[in-house]
Amino acid sequence: MATRQEQQSSVTLRLRRSFPAPRERVFRAWTTPAEMKLWKAPGDMTTPLAEVDLRPGGKYRIHMRAPDGTEHHLVGVYRLVEPPKKLVYTWRWESEPDAPETLVTVEFLDRGGATDLVLTHELFPNEESKGKHEHGWAGCLDKLARVVA
């Protein structure tokens, strides 16, 4: 049964990116705290904290830090974990208590030694929020490409 928020929000972001690395490698970079710290914040931001309990019902926490020291804390719960094929997890900005919880699905598609990654981030309250996350994800995926190269 869909929650009230899920029934009301249909603003969805979809990104597709190819990586010249096996999907097991890309999945590991997406789910291992030490590797997440290398790419899980866009642009000149850093990731001083990444905690992962990689199982359905397990929680994660990511802290992103801007050059001026401002931190943004991201938390969520894994709903589906299918290594190395698929992840589904909730996404909530802890520092913005009024921000709605959104949902992220990441598919890791095997392309014979390369990986097509399909990211679907849904349940945004509006196009502005979607746009901010699209910019952030693009920056993160650029860093991820360097990590798995």
53-78 per-position pLDDT tens digit = 999 999 999 999 999 999 999 999 99
Which residues face 98 on adjacent strands?
none
Residue 114 burial by CB count (10 A; 0-12/13-18/19+): exposed, middle or buried?
middle
The pair of three-digit structure tokens given for residue 73, joined into one six-digit string:
């804390």
Task: State the pLDDT at residue 3.
Answer: 47
CB count within 10 Å of CB 108 equals 22
Distance CA 112, CA 104 (A): 25
Which of the listed CATH numbers 1.10.10.1100, 3.40.50.1100, 3.40.190.10, 3.30.530.20 matches domain 11-148? Answer: 3.30.530.20
Average pLDDT over residues 119-136: 97
Give the pLDDT band of residue 6 (cuts 50, 70, 90).
Answer: very low
